[in-house]
């Protein structure tokens, strides 16, 4: 499990550790981890040139001490100080190791002039192999000051390694309100932060490398399942199991207009995690469902319902009938408009950003800009687990606990993929997982199956369903 802690939690853990360590020891741990990560990124030290962008906080200090270590390894290190309050001891250490320090970036004397006027003033700009972003620490506010923005514009095209978090992003929310660093690699310390997992900030982090510095941390409000966590959650049949004890999942999806939604929802449900799949949707889709899945049976008792995908005008009736059965249910697509009917039940809602915007009566752009906030808000408002689909899907419980899905591929943005996901999560609900575990594990499996299916190129939703047994097979024996 990846754990993402808040700034407050990290600060408290750092303060506790600092009280037990010699002065400067914690920063030296972080700086060493950063320096070795930069060396790995560069591949070699000899002849390499590294530029440090240094602010006034701890991240600037980490960058300076890491730069000193790199300089001692033969790297040519130059630092631009973006603040008069940069750590003097770190500056002295870098100079003593042979590094170069500029009191300010060489961006001219007119602070409001465009950066394009100053690009020619940077000596040997093209010879920097990497820029280390030590501008703002985790306590900084979103956005960047003009001098930092100009320095970054001047250095556009050079790979960036961010210290702890990309400067300018909102660390605790994953929002990007204003100019910010876009890193190729982020080297973080002690624990992940929310911005490493939640979009849009997660897109600015690049690859994330965690350096253990010995923090003693409480439970994290944001998590990300890993393969071993999903394997531990997967239901496995007992020695005396039969199809009913393994769970029966019912699907009410599809219509005459969208029969494929029924087939794809059933395909996700028929992944083998539940003992039986029943189809009780529009008769217009029944023949296609039977042709694709002869093992699927008709109406009867179930342990969970999957409702809504492609259900068109029948969505409200499908929700009402499913709620009456008093079993867990997953609500998707058109049926989300009737999510209030399931309040108080064990429910998973699976909107994309546009659908969640309609549920909350906000603009889609607001949801995409503040995914964590809106997923939590919807979970509280509807008293349900909300699975907000996206590049990094956010799964939120009504109490605010969140899991973020980091599996997947851009090829997963294809029609019908959400139908497969709904059926898969429904199978996990029927097999006995609680809504939060079913939604987060199902989302992880869905992303992993898409990644596997896309190894040879573009995919469609049915390819994701076809890859599920391979992914599940790789996990059930672990």
Structure confidence by residue, pLDDT tens digits, 143-197: 999 999 999 999 999 999 999 999 999 999 999 999 999 999 999 999 999 999 9
pLDDT over 90 at 424, yes or no: yes
> Annotated binding residues for AMP, as ranges?
389-393, 418
pLDDT computed for residue 111 by the predictor: 38
> Annotated binding residues for (6S)-NADPHX, as ranges?
58-62, 137-143, 164, 261, 310, 352, 419
Residue 348 Rama label (left phi>0; alpha psi -120 to 50; beta): beta
- What six digits make up the tokens of 467? 């890859």
**What are the residues whose beta carbons fall under 8 Å from the beta carbon of 249, sequence distance 6 or more?**
269, 274, 276, 277, 278, 302, 303, 304, 305, 306, 423, 426, 427, 429, 430
pLDDT computed for residue 124 by the predictor: 46
Nearest to 427 by CA among 346, 356, 330: 330
Least confident of 190-199, 256-265, 309-318: 309-318
pLDDT over 90 at 444, yes or no: yes
pLDDT computed for residue 123 by the predictor: 44
pLDDT computed for residue 289 by the predictor: 97
pLDDT computed for residue 107 by the predictor: 64
Tell me the average pLDDT of the chain: 94
Q: 307: which strand partners?
A: 252, 331
pLDDT band of 51, cuts 50, 70, 90: very high
pLDDT computed for residue 170 by the predictor: 97
pLDDT over 60 at 478, yes or no: no
The percent of residues above 70 in pLDDT, for the chain, comes to 96
Structure confidence by residue, pLDDT tens digits, 260-286: 999 999 999 999 999 999 999 999 999
Instruction: Quote the radius of gyration of the chain (alpha carbons, Å).
Output: 26
pLDDT band of 108, cuts 50, 70, 90: low
> Annotated binding residues for K(+), as ranges?
59, 133, 167
**pLDDT, greater one: 137 or 321:** 321
In order, the DSSP letters of 381-443 are: HHTSEEEE-STT-EEE-TTS-EEE-----GGG-STTHHHHHHHHHHHHHHTT--HHHHHHHHH
Going along the chain from its start, the domains and CATH numbers come out as 2-223 (3.40.50.10260), 227-476 (3.40.1190.20)
- What six digits make up the tokens of 347? 């429910």
pLDDT over 90 at 454, yes or no: yes
pLDDT over 70 at 334, yes or no: yes
Structure confidence by residue, pLDDT tens digits, 208-254: 999 999 999 999 999 999 999 999 999 999 999 999 999 999 999 99
Give counts: helices (H), strands (E), the chain. Answer: 16, 18
> Annotated binding residues, as ranges?
58-62, 133, 137-143, 164, 167, 261, 310, 352, 389-393, 418-419
């Amino acid at each position: 499990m990846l754990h993402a802690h808040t700034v407050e939690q990290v600060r408290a853990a750092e303060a506790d550790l600092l009280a037990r360590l010699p002065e400067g020891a914690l920063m030296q741990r972080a700086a060493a981890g950063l320096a070795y990560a930069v060396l790995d990124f560069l591949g070699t030290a000899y002849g390499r040139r590294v530029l440090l962008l240094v602010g006034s906080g701890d991240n600037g200090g980490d960058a300076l001490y890491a730069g000193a270590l790199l300089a001692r390894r033969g790297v040519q290190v130059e630092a631009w100080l973006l603040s008069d309050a940069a750590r003097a001891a770190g500056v002295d250490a870098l100079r003593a190791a042979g590094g170069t320090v500029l009191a300010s970036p060489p961006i001219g004397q007119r602070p409001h002039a465009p950066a394009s006027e100053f690009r020619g003033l940077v000596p040997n700009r093209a010879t920097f192999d990497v820029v280390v972003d030590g501008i703002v620490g985790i306590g900084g506010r979103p956005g960047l000051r003009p001098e930092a923005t100009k320095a970054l514009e001047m250095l556009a095209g050079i790979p960036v390694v961010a210290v702890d978090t990309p400067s300018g992003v909102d660390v605790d929310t994953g929002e990007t309100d204003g100019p910010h660093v876009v890193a190729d690699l982020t080297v973080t310390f002690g624990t992940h932060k929310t911005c490493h997992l939640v979009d849009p900030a997660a897109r600015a982090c690049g690859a994330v490398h965690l350096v253990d510095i010995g923090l003693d941390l409480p439970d994290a409000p944001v998590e990300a399942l890993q393969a071993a966590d999903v394997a531990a959650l997967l239901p496995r049949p007992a020695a005396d199991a039969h199809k009913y004890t393994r769970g029966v999942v019912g699907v009410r999806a599809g219509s005459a207009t969208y029969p494929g939604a029924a087939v794809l929802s059933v395909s996700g449900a028929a992944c083998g995690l539940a003992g039986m799949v029943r189809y009780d949707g529009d008769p217009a889709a029944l023949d296609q469902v039977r042709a694709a899945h002869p093992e699927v049976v008709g109406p009867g008792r179930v342990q969970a319902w999957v409702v809504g995908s492609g259900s068109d005008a029948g969505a409200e009736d499908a929700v009402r009938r499913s709620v009456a059965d008093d079993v867990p249910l997953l609500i998707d697509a058109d049926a989300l408009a009737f999510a209030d009917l399931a309040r108080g039940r064990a429910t998973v809602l699976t909107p994309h950003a546009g659908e969640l915007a309609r549920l909350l009566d906000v603009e889609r752009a607001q949801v995409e800009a503040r995914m964590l906030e809106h997923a939590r808000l919807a979970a509280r408002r509807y008293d349900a687990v909300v699975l907000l689909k996206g590049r990094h899907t956010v799964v939120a419980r009504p109490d605010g606990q969140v899991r973020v899905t980091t599996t997947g591929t851009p090829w997963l943005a294809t029609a019908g993929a959400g139908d497969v996901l709904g059926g898969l999560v429904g199978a996990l609900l029927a097999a006995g997982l609680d809504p939060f575990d079913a939604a987060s594990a199902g989302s992880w499996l869905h992303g992993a199956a898409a990644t596997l299916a896309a190894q040879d190129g573009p995919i469609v939703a049915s390819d994701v369903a076809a890859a599920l047994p391979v992914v599940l097979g790789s996990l059930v024996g672990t």
